[in-house]
Amino acid sequence: MVERTPFLNFFTHVILFVGFVFCIAPFVVVIIAASHNLKDVNDVPMSLLPGNDFWLNIKTAWTTADLGPKLLNSFIMAAGVAAGKVIISALTAFSIVYFRYPGRTFIFWLIFVTLMLPLEVRIVPTYAVVANVLSPYQTILDITGLTWLIEKVSGVQVSLSLGLLNSYTGLILPLIATATGTFLYRQFFLTVPDELTEAARMDGAGPLRFFIDILLPLSRNNMAALGTIMFLWAWNQYLWPLLITTDQSHATAVTELKQLIPNVGGIPEWNIAMAGTLIVMLPPLIVVVAMQRWFVRGLIATEK
Amino acid sequence: MEKRVTFSRWTIGILFAVPQLLLIFTFFYWPAGQAVYWSLTLQQPWGGGNIWVGLDNFRSILSNADYWNSISASLIFAGISTGLAMFIALVLAALTDRQLAGSRLYRVVLIWPYGIAAPALAMAFRFILAPEAGFMAVVNQVWPGFWDPGLDGTDAMASIIVAFSWKYVGYNFIFFLAAFQAIPRSLIEAAAMDGSGVIRRFWDIQFPLITPTIFFLLVINITESFQDSFGIVDIMTSGGPANATNLMVYKIYSDGFKGLDYSGAAAQSIILMLLIVVLTIFQFRFIERRVHYR
């Protein structure tokens, strides 16, 4: 620092250390509780020395909540959302930055508004749409009279129906339908020098060529940042998977945690619950630690 | 800002936007419109379509004591947890920005909580704050009956506030630290040469320069407290005891999916949407101030 401030430095160290302790204490408690046997974990006060049953508890939690397939589901959902976001946002941003077409500003605002309303607040109707994802189009056909027209002309009764409950598509698509990534790319595309576009055009590259060979390689940093953030965000989703996976086969690890809440009556099995919690919180934590740089960058950039 | 050089084949341009437009139409605009429609109609119990009831759904919700209870619980939750999470993060970030030995460790570790899923951390805190085992049990042994989130609404509210704040301290910390580090060192050094101390420099230089970040985080924290709280509430308290932690999103979920009252849930969604839109507009008024400092 600029000057010597021994007292303030001491104070700084103390506060930061206290913050540090509060920050990691829950992690430590979870790990220690997960290593105790049933009796020790319910001791008051619980011993802070790890017990010997760590692997046993992990195994019990793993089989009780059937975490193997659930973790796989979580992974598929998170990877799907991250990949979908990275690709679709790039396409859209390219369209609204590099082209002039009528209605471009309108499309921009159409996408921009989606930032305002998170999935949680429009959860009930979104659920109804996913139950039959073609229902909006069916309704449009009905209202415009096209259903009637088609039936008169060809004799075919149009009834579009495609249920996405209990499917990966149903888990993933509604989570992609926001504007978060689009503006990250837009911000970046606007900083790409015009000379690059001119040079590419002079060399005879069309829009598709320019996009794939020049713009995308330049956006690698943005893709990594956006991918990391979206992976974590999707992994940590709870309400949406809880609703649309009525069937166990598509449940995710985070929603399965509920199975591990110790029931009232009897001695609560907190050691198993904490072992399960540890398993579920570990993958995102690994991503945060390994991808820290992209995580921080993505977080700050996507919110702007 | 606009590009000077663009491509002329605009049909291709529109094609690039089509996937996104299809998605937001199907999963955003249609459901949002549907919510408006449902909130103005009432579904008949034995099918036969919806009947138009105008603003009756809103009237019956707004005259329901449970709903006002849910709003006040949400506001208390939003207010206290936002205040806590932002104040703690601000102090930690300001001190980390002094870059004493070890500050790199804090920069890495303090953001870990934000990576954790809300239900997972809720589970951890449910154990830590459990009345019969864990850590509050020790307090209960000294003062029997002091702490029981299962029976006492205030204790339950305190539990979910602690869990939510713990996660969002990490989030706010990242933004505050970035804001502090964006302040030119020369400003601080010039002030130091003029003889101002660390505290004085904080209040007169750093704090005014990060006010845009503070406003921004204020809005984000409040909106997140409406949505990200669902997992915490569901795992820790299930809205209880006696509706003490029945926050707005949780109530929409339980009315809509447990009570199957789509119209009521839709009307609640609309009110929550309006609340969030107002907050967001409020935020955009301050975005200009943010840019102003650049």
- Judge whether B3 and A90 are in contact, CB under 8 Å: no
Q: Give which of B172, B163, B73, B150 is closest to B119, Cα–Cα.
A: B163
**What's the 3-state SS for B90-153?**
HHHHHHHCCCCCCHHHHHHHCCHHHHCCHHHHHHHHHHHCCCCCCCHHHHHHHCCCCCCCCCCH
- Judge whether A291 and A228 are in contact, CB under 8 Å: yes
pLDDT in tens, B8-20: 777 888 888 888 8
Cα dihedral: B40, B45, B47, B49 (round 10): -10
Q: Which residue type, as a one-letter code, is found at position B240?
A: G
- Judge whether B61 and B42 are in contact, CB under 8 Å: no
Contact B171 A2 (CB under 8 A): no
Work out the percent of chain A whose per-residue pLDDT is above 70: 95
| CATH tag for B64-292 (out of 3.40.190.10, 3.30.70.20, 1.10.3720.10, 3.40.50.2000) | 1.10.3720.10
Q: Which residues of A touch B118 (CB under 8 A)?
A: 236, 238
A177 close to B (CB below 8 A): yes
Q: How far apart are the first and last CA of chain A?
A: 30
Contact A26 B252 (CB under 8 A): no
- Judge whether A136 and B33 are in contact, CB under 8 Å: no
Domain ranges of chain A: 67-121+166-302
More confident residue, A295 or A84: A84
Contact B135 A296 (CB under 8 A): no
- Judge whether B127 and A33 are in contact, CB under 8 Å: yes
pLDDT in tens, B181-240: 888 888 888 988 888 888 888 888 888 888 888 888 888 888 888 888 888 998 888 887
Name the closest residue on chain B to residue A18, using Cα atoms: B92
Residue segments in chain B with a per-residue pLDDT below the cut of 50: 288, 291-294
Name the closest residue on chain B to residue A196, using Cα atoms: B5
- Portion 86-145 of B in contact with A at CB < 8 A: 88, 91-92, 95-96, 98-100, 102-103, 105-106, 108-121, 123-128, 130, 132-135, 137-138, 141
- Judge whether B21 and A110 are in contact, CB under 8 Å: yes
Contact A176 B23 (CB under 8 A): yes
Write down the pLDDT at residue A76. Answer: 93
d(CA B263, CA B273): 15
| CATH tag for A67-121+166-302 (out of 2.40.30.10, 3.30.40.10, 1.10.3720.10, 3.40.1180.10) | 1.10.3720.10
pLDDT in tens, A159-209: 677 777 788 888 888 888 888 888 888 888 888 888 888 898 889 888 889
Q: Which residue type, as a one-letter code, is found at position A6?
A: P
d(CA A218, CA A216): 5
User: H-helix or E-strand containing B21?
Assistant: helix B10-24
pLDDT in tens, A30-60: 898 888 887 777 777 777 788 788 888 888 8
Q: What is the DSSP letter of A156?
A: P
Output the six-digit token pair for B137.
């049990």
d(CA A95, CA A117): 23
Domain ranges of chain B: 1-54, 64-292
Q: Give which of A219, A122, A107 is closest to A175, Cα–Cα.
A: A122
Q: Which residue type, as a one-letter code, is found at position B267?
A: A
* pLDDT at position A20 over 80: yes
d(CA B260, CA B142): 45
Write down the pLDDT at residue B289. Answer: 54
Q: What is the DSSP letter of B43?
A: E
Q: Which residues of A touch B32 (CB under 8 A)?
A: 117, 122, 125
The C-alpha of B277 sits at a distance from chain A's nearest C-alpha, in angstroms, of: 6
* pLDDT at position A264 over 70: no
Quote the distance between the C-alpha of residue A60 and its chain's center.
28
pLDDT in tens, A162-172: 777 788 888 88
Which residue carries 């009796």 as its tokens? A39
Contact A288 B257 (CB under 8 A): no
Q: Give which of A45, A176, A154, A7 is closest to B197, Cα–Cα.
A: A7
Q: Which residues contact A195 (CB under 8 A, 6 or more apart)?
A: none
Q: How many CB atoms lie within 10 A of CB A31?
A: 15
B45 close to A (CB below 8 A): no
* pLDDT at position A1 over 70: no
d(CA A232, CA A217): 23
Q: Give which of A265, A241, A295 is closest to A74, Cα–Cα.
A: A241
- Judge whether B133 and A46 are in contact, CB under 8 Å: yes
Name the closest residue on chain B to residue A92, using Cα atoms: B17
Q: Which among B10, B16, B39, B225 is the top mutation candidate for probing chain A, defined by the most A β-carbons within 10 Å of its own β-carbon?
A: B16
Give phi and psi for B238, each to the nearest 5. 50, 35
Contact A8 B198 (CB under 8 A): yes
d(CA B124, CA A140): 47
Give phi and psi for A261, each to the nearest 5. -60, 125
Least CB–CB distance from B112: residue in A23, A100, A124: A23
Output the six-digit token pair for A99.
């082209």
Write down the pLDDT at residue B161. Answer: 93
Q: Give which of A218, A117, A147 is closest to B34, Cα–Cα.
A: A117
pLDDT band at A4 (very low <50, low <70, confident <90, very high): confident
d(CA A93, CA A303): 16
* pLDDT at position A83 over 90: yes
Span A216-225, mean pLDDT? 89
- Portion 247-276 of B in contact with A at CB < 8 A: 249, 252-253, 256-257, 262, 265-266, 269, 272-273, 276
Cα dihedral: A207, A211, A213, A219 (round 10): 160
- Judge whether A122 and B273 are in contact, CB under 8 Å: yes
Q: What is the DSSP letter of B75?
A: H
The C-alpha of B72 sits at a distance from chain A's nearest C-alpha, in angstroms, of: 17
Identify the weakest region by mean pLDDT among A5-9, A118-122, A245-249, B285-289. B285-289
Q: Which residues contact B181 (CB under 8 A, 6 or more apart)?
A: B97
Write down the pLDDT at residue B292. Answer: 41
Write down the pLDDT at residue B57. Answer: 82
Work out the percent of chain B whose per-residue pLDDT is above 70: 93
Write down the pLDDT at residue B47. Answer: 57
